[in-house]
Amino acid sequence: MSADPRTVERRATPRVRAVNTGAAAFALPRLTWPRWRHLPREARDTLFLLAVIGWTVLPHTAHLPFWCSALTATMLLWRGALALRSAALPSRWVLVALLLLALVLTAWTHSTLAGKEAGVTLLVVLVALKTLELRARRDAFAVFFLGFFLVLTHFLYSQSLAIAAATLVSVWGLLTALVLAHMPVGQPSLRQAAKLAGRFALLGAPVMVLLFALFPRVGPLWGLPRDAGASTGLSGEMRMGSMAELALDESIALRVRFLRGKPPPPEALYFRGPVLGHFDGDAWRVLQPRFAAHTGSEAVLRPLGEPVDYELTLEPLRLSMIPVLEATPLLPAFDDLRTVQRADLHWITHRPVTERLRYTAQAWPRFEHGPLEAVPGLQDYLELPAGYNPRLLAWASALKREARLAADDAEGLAALLYRRIRSEGYSYTLTPGTYDDDGSGDAIDEFWFDRKQGFCEHFAAAFVVAMRAAGVPARIVTGYQGAERDEEGTSLVVRQSYAHAWAEYWQAGTGWARADPTSQVAPERISRSRALLARPGFVAGAIDGLAPGLLTSVRALWEGFDNGYRQWVLNYSRGSQLNLMKNLGFSSPSWQDLGIVLAAVIIAASLLGAAWAWLDQRRSDPWLRAYARIRRAALAHGVSASESLPPRVLAATLEHELGANAAAPAAQALRALDVLRYARQDGATLSARAAGAQARRLAVEGVQALQALPRPPAQQPLSHPFAPTSR
C-alpha cells in the first residue's frame, strides 16, 4: 500500500525535540527527510534528472569559469529544493535576468559569445536554466536533448577513457529519465526504467559498432581551429626552468615498440624534437637560417652500424612537429598530414598534430650528420646577444687560450667543460630556484659560477653558450630521453617527465656531435632512465608508506586499459578501415568499396528490422493469448467479444446470457484477468514472467469453467450488451 500523504507530509516537516541538560532545556530542530520511495513521482523524477545533469556538467568544471560552475550548482540546488517542497517555479522575468547575467559574464570572461569556450559556457548555463522552467513534458524533452548535446561537448576537450566512462553514465542516466517520462501514471521504479534504458542502449550498440567501423572518416572530428595552441609537452622554445616544470608531468607522451633489430640501450634512447639555435638572452627558439642549407635528409645524415625498426604511438602534441627516435631519416605518409625533415633532423608538419598518431619507421642509433667542412650556415650557431652573461663569455675565451687548443678542436673543448661539471660541485635538481631575479640577463652566469644547481636546460644552455663564446658552433636539442617498460613488458613508455634538453656542437670532419652535460652530473638519468621525481603529496606519501608500489601498480593497470582503448578506438583511422576491407576480401579497397559495403550493411539491417517487426506483430503477449482462449470458449456457448473490449465486459455478458450463477466462475477469472492488466490496487508490480504465469492460470480456470457448462444448441453467436450495432 502507498503511504498516506499526511504521513509523508509529517515526515518531511522538521520536528522539535526537547533536550533537558540540567537547569535549562533547549529546543533543537531535527529535520527528517522522506524516503526516496515516499516522494511524489514528479519530485523523484525531477531530482533524478537534476542529479544526471549535475554529473554531466561535473567534468566540464575543470575548464569552466568559476562563476559558471557556481551559478549552475546554485540553479540545480534551487530547482531540487523547489521539487522537494512542491513550490512554484520562478517567473520568466527571473529566468530572463539570469540569462542576461550569464551573457554578460560570458562576454566579459571570453571576450566573445562565439567559439568553443564561450559556447560550452553558455550551453551549461542554458541547461541549468531550462530545469527552472520544467513544467510540462515538452520542457523535460528539451532538457534531455540539451543534455545529450552537452555530453558531446566533452570530446572537444578530451577523448580519454575516463571521459568516455563518465559520458556512458550520463547517456544511461538521460535515457533512464527519458523512459520515465514515457511511463504511465503511478510510481514505476527507477530500477525498472534503468533496465529498460540499458536494454535499448544494448539493442542500438551493434548499429553503433557498424557505423564506427564503416562510416567514412573525414579528418579529426573533435578539432577546432582555436585548438592549435600548444598545451603541456614540448614547445618551440625553452626558458630556464621550463623543462623542470615539464618533468613534474607524469602523463604519457609516447609509446615505442621495437620490431626488428636489437633495441638500443637506455643511454641511446634519444627522441629528437625541436632544435633551438636562436638565443636572445632570455629564451631559446628554433633558428630561421639566413643562409641556404640542405633540406633533404640524404644530404646531411650518414648512418652508422645497424638500424632498428620501431613502432611509435604519439599522443596529440598540438604542435607542428613529430618527435622521432634518433636518427630517423624517413617517415610514412599520414592521412591529411604532410611532414618535412629540416636539415637539423627535426621533423615538422604543415599543421599542429591534434590527433593520436601511430607510425613505423627505421632509425640508426649511431649516425653522423651535418656538413663536414665549414659552410656559411654555421655562422648562425655562433651568435650570442650582446650584453648577456659577460663572465661566461670571458671565461670560455680564456679557457680555450689557456688550454692551447687548436681552433678546430671542438671535442677537446667539450671535454674541458665536462671536467668542470664533474669536479666543481654542480648538482642536478628539479628545484634550483629562480635565476636572474634582478632582470640583468645574467642567469647563465649565475648558474655557472655561483649557485651551480640546475636541471637539464641549465646545463645544456651553459654548455652551448660556452662553446659559442669559444668560437665553436653549437645548439640545443629538445626532446625526450629514456623510457620505462609498460605494464605488459612489450613496449616502452615515455612520459612527459622524460623531457630532456641536450647540446650539439660542430666538429670539422665529423659534423654535428651530441653532447649531454647532464650525463656528467647525473649519469643515472641517462644510463638508467631514472628521471627526477617531485616529492609526493601527503595522501600519496601515506598510501605509499602503507603499501609501497600500490600507486605505481594502479597507475600501470589504468594505463593498460587506457592504451587498449586508444589503440582500438581512438587510433581507428581511414587506414584501419581500408585494412578491414582487405580482410573482407577486397584486394585494393577504395572509398567507393567502403560506401558499397556500408550501404549493403544498412540494407541488410533494415531488412532484418522489418522481418523482426513483422514477426513481432504476429506474436501476442501471454495476457492476449490467455484472453483469446477464454473468448474462444465463450464463442462455443454463443457469446462473442472482440479483442478491443476488456475482459470485464465479456464477464458481464456471460452473466447476462448464461445466468449469474452458472457463469460466476468464468466471470471471476475474466475480472481477475482484467485487474491483472489494467487495475492493480495493491501498488505492487509483477515481473513479466510472473504476470504471464498468472494470466495462463486464469485462462485455464476460465476455459474449464465454461467447458463445464452444457453446450447450447447451434445458433447465431450472441453479442455482449455493449457491442456496437451496424446499420
Which segment of 184-193, 501-510, 715-724 scores lowest on mean pLDDT? Answer: 715-724
Catalytic annotation, pick one of 516, 637, 674, 720: 516
pLDDT of residue 610: 84
Say whether 278 is catalytic.
no
| Each residue's pLDDT tens digit, 548-557 | 556 666 666 6
pLDDT of residue 640: 79
- Out of 110, 346, 456, 486, the active site residue is 456
CA distance 507 to 526: 23
Helices (H) and strands (E) in the chain, counts: 24, 23
Banded model confidence at residue 689, pLDDT cuts 50, 70, 90: confident
Q: What per-residue confidence (pLDDT) applies to 3?
A: 41
Chain mean position to CA 490? 25
pLDDT band at 624 (very low <50, low <70, confident <90, very high): confident
pLDDT confidence of residue 143: 86
Task: Kindly provide the b/e burial profile for residues 430-453, where b requires at least 16 CB atoms within 10 angstroms of the residue's own CB.
Answer: bebeebbeeeebbbbbbbbeeebb
Q: Find the catalytic residue in 346, 369, 500, 637.
A: 500
Catalytic residue flag (residue 500): yes
Ranges 69-78, 369-378, 528-537: which has the least confidence: 528-537
Cell numbers at 73, concatenated: 550548482
pLDDT of 514 higher than 90: yes
DSSP string for 641-653 = --TTS-HHHHHHH
pLDDT value at residue 659: 84
Ranges of each domain in the chain: 5-34, 39-214, 237-527, 538-570, 574-618, 622-719
pLDDT of residue 40 exceeding 50, the answer is yes
Specify the range with the lowest mean pLDDT, choosing from 184-198, 250-264, 530-544. Answer: 530-544
**Mean pLDDT across 381-405:** 89
Q: What percent of the chain has pLDDT over 70?
A: 78
**pLDDT tier at 14, thresholds 50, 70, 90:** very low
What is the spatial distance between Cα 1 and Cα 498, in angstroms, rounded to a whole number?
66
The whole-number pLDDT of residue 36 equals 61
Question: What pLDDT digit, counting tens, does each position of 215-225 carry?
Answer: 776 554 444 44
Residue 701, number of CB atoms within 10 A of its CB:
18
Distance CA 72, CA 50 (A): 11
Told to judge if 456 belongs to the known catalytic residues of this protein, a careful annotator would answer yes
Is residue 126 pLDDT above 80, yes or no? yes
Q: What is the pLDDT of residues 447-462, one digit of tens each?
A: 999 888 888 889 999 9
